[in-house]
Chains A and B, each alone.
Chain A
């Protein structure tokens, strides 16, 4: 079975501090991994994805994610958090076969001024 897990429902970080939102995955074969963000009263927006190659992926709004095959993780990071980063973040995976994408349960990020 293919799935992702987001172990933290809520992450709080002070403005200007680095942030990490965690994601682990379970998939057969090589995974395609994604991060999406959902701002209040807005739809889900694509942030970044990992397909292959460099384990550090850079995306929108200064976010990056690190793919770690041995730990089956794909944590989202940002060196310096902004208050405007406060939102709901979803990790997603697509297996090597099939057309389905599997989303995590989401992590609510709050950046404290």
Chain B
């Protein structure tokens, strides 16, 4: 257990529906990452928060995707009008800060999304 929790662990939805995932990071870590992992691939960066500020977003993050981190604590990732191509494991990571940025990432167990 890394101390990072994600909810739900599994989500099955129909194409066109909206889904929302939650991540609770390690409380003393002020940074938070969202990644997407598909079968046979490594995690792909989606977005990054420092406290409540969303500082970077990947080009993978279309306008159907939105992420928030109110008050710099938990974070949510919402996908609107889901498509079958959105089926993947969505990972949250809570980095242990390191001066210079060589952060060790603590990953949550992920939310597996299946879009039918």
Residues of A in contact with B (beta carbons under 8 Å apart)? 32, 34, 36, 42-46, 49, 51, 90, 92, 94, 98-106
Q: Are A100 and B2 in contact (CB under 8 A)?
A: no
Q: From known contacts A32-B101, A45-B107, A46-B106, infer whether A101 and B56 are also in contact, taking CB-CB under 8 Å.
A: no
Q: Are B102 and A32 in contact (CB under 8 A)?
A: yes
Q: Are B45 and A105 in contact (CB under 8 A)?
A: no
Residues of B in contact with A (beta carbons under 8 Å apart)? 2, 4, 33, 35, 40-45, 48, 55-56, 58, 91, 93, 98, 100-110
Chain A proximity of B69: nearest CB distance (Å): 14
Q: Identify 27 residue pairs between A and B in the complex whose beta-carbon atoms are under 8 Å apart, listed by A's number.
A: A32-B100, A36-B105, A36-B107, A43-B4, A43-B91, A43-B107, A43-B109, A43-B110, A44-B43, A44-B105, A46-B105, A46-B106, A49-B102, A51-B98, A51-B102, A90-B42, A99-B56, A99-B101, A100-B45, A100-B58, A101-B45, A103-B35, A103-B42, A103-B43, A105-B42, A106-B41, A106-B42
Q: Are B104 and A49 in contact (CB under 8 A)?
A: yes
Interface centre among A46, A94, A102 (most CB of B within 10 A): A46
Closest A residue to B98 by beta carbon equals A51
CA distance A34 to B42 in the complex (A): 13
Q: Are A45 and B102 in contact (CB under 8 A)?
A: no
Q: Are A99 and B110 in contact (CB under 8 A)?
A: no
Chain A proximity of B59: nearest CB distance (Å): 11
Which A residues are CB-close (under 8 A) to B43?
44, 90, 103
Q: Are A45 and B45 in contact (CB under 8 A)?
A: no
Q: Are A101 and B105 in contact (CB under 8 A)?
A: yes
Q: Are A105 and B56 in contact (CB under 8 A)?
A: no
Chain A proximity of B96: nearest CB distance (Å): 8
Chain B proximity of A108: nearest CB distance (Å): 10
Interface centre among B2, B58, B100, B101 (most CB of A within 10 A): B101
Which A residues are CB-close (under 8 A) to B55?
99
Which B residues are CB-close (under 8 A) to A46?
104-106
Q: Are A102 and B110 in contact (CB under 8 A)?
A: no
Which B residues are CB-close (under 8 A) to A44?
43, 91, 93, 105, 107
Interface centre among A99, A102, A104 (most CB of B within 10 A): A99
